[in-house]
Each structure stands twice: as C-alpha cells, then as structure tokens.
Structure 1
Amino acid sequence: MVPIHEHEFYLPARDGYMLSARSILLENARATVLISSGTGFPKELYARMARFGAERGYAALIYDYRGIAGSAPEQMRGFDADIMDWARLDFPAALDAAEALAPGKPLFTLGHSVGAHLLGFADNAHKAKAHGFVTAGTGYHGAHEPGYRHKALLFWWAYGPFMLALHNHIPAGGLWTGTALPRDVFTQWRQWSQRPGYFTEFYEELGEHGFDRISAPIRDWTFTDDQLCSRRSADDLLSFYTAAPTEQLRLDPAELGAKRIDHHGAFSRSAKAFWSLPYDWFDGYL
C-alpha cells in the first residue's frame, strides 16, 4: 500500500476569500490532479476517487467553491457570489495550489458538471496536460432528456424563486438535493439555462475567456441514465472548446457493474469500476 497523507486547509482564492480544501499526498507522486466539484456538491464526495488516484501515483486537491459546504459563510442571506467568481477567482487559485503539490510533475484536471465549465474562464488552464470531464454538459433546459425538462423548469421558475423569496438563497433540501446555494449562483445559472448557447451567449458581458485557446485534450465521460447531461448537452459543451481535441464516452451503468449512476453517482463506491478510467487516460499523457 502507498502511504497517503491528507491535509485539510484553507486556500486563498485570487481575491483572498478562503476556500476549504484538502490535499491527498504521497511521496514521489507521478502527477497531480485537481478535482473540481459539480454545483452544490461538497468536496467530500470526491475524496474516495482522489484516494484511489493516489494509489495510482496521483496527488490530488479537492476544494469547495465559495458559498458551498466548507467554504460557505455562517449567514447565506446576502452573501455575494456567482459562478463567474468560481471560474475567475476560485478555480485558478486551486489549480495553482494543485500544481504546487508536486512541482515539476504533470498536472491534470477532472471537472464534474460545472467544474468542466470553469476551465474555459481560467487564465492558467494551459498548465494542465489534459482535462477529464464527468457528466459535463450545458445546463440549457432544452438539451436535457425530455423526461427531465419539466423538472428543470419547475426548479427555475417556481421552486427556486419561492426559496429566494423566503431565504434569499436556495437552502439544502426539498427539490434541491445539493448544499445551500448562493442567490447569484442560482440566478446566473437560470439565466444561462434559457439559451441554447448557454453561457456562450453572454460572452460580451462575461468578458475575456479562453474556450478558443485551450488546446489540451478533453474527454467527457457521461452515462445513459443521466437525464440532466444528455449526449446532446455534453456535445454542446465540448463544442465550446474549439481549439482542443475532444471526445465524449457515453457509458451504460451496467458496463461498470452499477445499477444506477445518474449525474453524480460516478464518485460513489457502487461505481468504483469507473474510477480507473480517467486515471488510465491520464497515464497516456505522462
């Protein structure tokens, strides 16, 4: 067994906001991977897969975006944070911190859902040799599987606004199964979700981006039982990365010995057979 050391700490984002983070370290790591969460998922969801990677020789960094789980303020009401803060302030700082875990060794990213969106807005994305995505597609409601679209619209236009009126944020529980969500994250996400081009239709107001400059290979693993991230949704997201070689691998959970994977089950023990796939792919770039 490889001796693995875990360390909980606070990582300063680009603007100094302190992010809850955990490093998974080993001696003589071959490479490092930054694992970036899906919207509303705490970093602990990814710890088992990170430890698995450490046994393969990969150091890892997992972290919570501002406003999420360990990086949430004591009082969510009035807390000011949106997805672009995650993209321009949190993700780049975490990428630099991941690189520092094994200086001089190859660096990779593994982004779950929105974690794959942030990459294109980071000014240091070029540091990574390849980018793995897991169930990453756009959030455009018309690209979800037909059976999921009515749920998305209910969340955007009924449940979400009602929760904002009551709490000024989206609390955990009810129709929202993630951690508490800042108000501006919800409203920005909803704005993008109404357009087929998702955030690409707001480039002018969002400012500089690097979706057309990222040239490292990208592979997106999606699953046939994920109604949120359909094949079309994932293909749409990959098309935004115009300079990179991209591919989508859509898997049936049964291929991995799992009954259900859906949008976030790839990181659970029941889908452990999946965990080796990103690391096998990263191995090819060492």
Structure 2
Amino acid sequence: MNLQQDTSLAPTQIELPLPASASGEPFKEPAADGFILGGFTWRHAAQDIARPVVIINAATSVRCRHYSRFADYLFANGFDVITYDYRGIGESRPASLKNLDASWSDWGALDFEAMLKRAQREFPGQPIDVVGHSFGGCAAGLGASGHVIRRLVTVGAQFAYWRDYAPAHRWRMFGKWHVVMPLITMICGYFPGKRLGWLEDTPAGVVRDWATPTGRYETRPSGRAIAARAGALPFATMTAKTLAISITDDPYGTIEAIERLLRYFSGGTNTHLRIAPEDIGEAEVGHFAFFRSAYQATLWPIALSWLQNGDLPPDTPGRTVPRSESF
C-alpha cells in the first residue's frame, strides 16, 4: 500500500557493509541504585547539537549485541547511538542470577532511565530518540525522564498478555511462557533460558512479570510496585511522536497487543504501521528478524525515516492501523 506520494519525504539512506560484531565503544554506567550496566556507544568525532542520539532498548532477554548492525546503520546515517543490556543480561550480567532482584520495571525505571541520563550527559543538547523492540517499547515508557524523548520507534512492542497472542499459537505460547518458564524458574532461582535455547538466562522477577496473566501493566507484580510508589505509571508524561511497527506473522505482536501498549502512550501522537511479509517479498519475518541486516533495504528505511523526519517514507509497505481497530 502506498502511504505517501510526496517523494520529498524519502529518507536519506547510506548502504553499507555491516560487520559481524559490535563496533561501538564499550562503557559501564551505574543505575540510580548503583547496579552497573554495560553497553556500547557509537559516537561521531565532532559534537553537533543538531545530531540526534538514539537509545536502543532490547527485547526481553535478548543481548544488545543483536542490535549492533542496526546501530551501525543508524551511525552511518548520521546518528549517535547507545545500546545496552538490562541488568542480568549480557554485558550487565553479574556472576550469579539466583540472588538478583530484577524485574521488567527495574529494566525500564532504573536501567533505561540510566541511559536517558547518560545520553543527556554524554550528548548535551542533542535530541534523544529511542528504538524499542518487544518489551523494549514498553520500557521506553517507564523512565521518569521520558519527557526528553523526541521520537520513538517500536517493533513488535507489547507486554505479553496471553490473550493477545496470535490464536494459532496462543495455547502453545501460554504453556511455554506462562507455565513451563515460571516452573523452571521456581526450581532454579532464575530462568536458564540459554541452556534451553530460549533466549538468554533471565532473572526471576522478570519471569514473574512476564508470566502474570493480566492485561494491565500496573497489575503485573513490578507494575503494581512502581504505580504504588509513583502514584501512576510514567507513560503519559512522554510526549514523543511514536511509530509502532508490527508484522502480521509475529505471534506476539498482534494488533490487540500493540494497541494495548499504545493506549498507555497517551501524551504523544501514535502511528501503528502493520506490515505483512509478502509486502516486502518475504515468506516470513516474525518477531525477531526485523533487526537482521537482511532487512536493511526493506524494513530499516522505515525506522530511519521516522527518526530523521517523524514521517513515513513514500511507498512504505503495509498499512496504518486506524484507531477504529483499537479495542
């Protein structure tokens, strides 16, 4: 579907060979509670207050290195970039996860918030944008400094309410993530996902949040805590212009799941773009493939254009979901 006819909105895009590993500069950053987070920075040599810096929020238990090629792409197209791992994951993993008290809300209110503070300190005066994958889109609304975010792009972003899973996969996914995962976590004290081939090892508090079968974030275990402490969830304080991208064969990112999260972002303007794999000549894309370099020419320019000018490029594949389809 042609969403734009004005070719003046076409994004400026640099095609580049992408390396196999992270090319950013490693850093350590303490969160407000003192927990040391690890990540990578892509920084241009000359500071420019007009140049945006993009923070990339990972999906649940996906290492930030998964997004390195996309970070290279943004850097080559004129952005400074920060990637990081939430506490308990990858560069931010302690020696043992058994005694780590970490939740989804910690990942947003403490870890993502630390990156917002770092961006303001390391790139003073520059616009701050965010890209959030899966839970990373939800985390973008949990930082107290969210009001500084200019533009937000989310991909398959939701907080895993089981009734929103695609019907064909719902019961298998419910059994895997809401029965088996919490049971194994109770036995081990954390979820040994890497050993099982199910994402990275994951702190028990994150598992509790994911597995709780409620349709409101504030009724998840850590959501209740943050709402009680602050009086309300911080989502609405964010005024960013948001593009939510969903893929039709993503069993997590159904229309219902994406819209459920978007309703929390009531302080800004939201656009929901839904793309079918056949729209870009593919048989499947799913939940994780968007950030693979195979989609540099087809999917990445959509996010790039939004970050560059807050609009969709001409001939954008897919369709925008009207508010009438929100439930």
| Residue among 280, 283, 298 paired with 1:259 | 283
CA distance in 2, matches of 1:218, 1:67: 28
**Mapping of 1:1-286 within 5 angstroms?**
6-28=24-46, 30-173=51-194, 177-191=198-212, 194-197=213-216, 199-201=217-219, 205-207=225-227, 208=230, 209-272=233-296, 273-285=298-310
Q: Distance in 2 between matches of 1:190 and 1:26?
A: 41
Residue pair 2:148, 2:238 contacting (<8 A) in 1 also: no
**CA contact 1:228–1:263 (8 Å) conserved in 2:** yes
Q: Is this contact kept in 2: 1:59–1:101, CA < 8 A?
A: no
| Code of the aligned partner of 2:165 | H
Distance 1:230 1:164 in 2: 27
- Higher normalized contact order (CA 8 Å, seq sep 6+, divided by chain length): 2
CA distance in structure 1 between the partners assigned to 2:113 and 2:187 by the alignment: 33
CA distance in structure 1 between the partners assigned to 2:95 and 2:195 by the alignment: 21
Q: Which amino acid is 1:282 matched to?
A: L
- In percent, how many aligned pairs have the same letter? 24
RMSD over equivalenced CA pairs, Å: 2.2
Secondary structure at 1:159 match in 2: helix
Corresponding residue SS for 2:172: helix
TM-fit CA distance, 1:100: 3.5
Contact map agreement 2:248 2:276 (CA 8 A) in 1 = yes
* Cα distance between partner residues in 2 of 1:146 and 1:174: 28
Larger Rg: 2
- Corresponding residue for residue 8 of structure 2: none
Distance 1:153 1:174 in 2: 20
- 1:103 deviates by 2.2
Deviation per CA, 1:62-89, whole angstroms, max 9, x where unpaired?
Answer: 0000011221111122221111111111
Structure 2: stretches of 5+ with no match in the other structure: 1-13, 17-21, 312-327
Query: The residue matched to 1:129 in structure 2 has which SS?
Result: strand
Contact 1:258 1:270 (8 Å CA) reproduced: no
* 1:247 CA drift (Å): 1.4
Structure 1 CA distance, aligned partners of 2:173 and 2:92?
A: 26
| Separation of aligned partners in 2, 1:157 and 1:281 | 35
Deviates more, 1:216-225 or 1:256-265: 256-265
Letter in 1 for 2:68: A
For 1:25, the aligned partner's letter is: R
Contact 1:32-1:101 at 8 Å conserved across structures:
no
Call closer, same or farther: CA 1:138–1:75 in 2, change over 3 Å.
Answer: closer
Q: How many matched pairs? A: 282
Is the Cα contact below 8 Å between 1:211 and 1:242 reproduced in 2? yes
Q: Which amino acid aligns with 1:233?
A: A
Q: TM-score, normalised by structure 2?
A: 0.80
Distance 1:268 1:19 in 2: 24
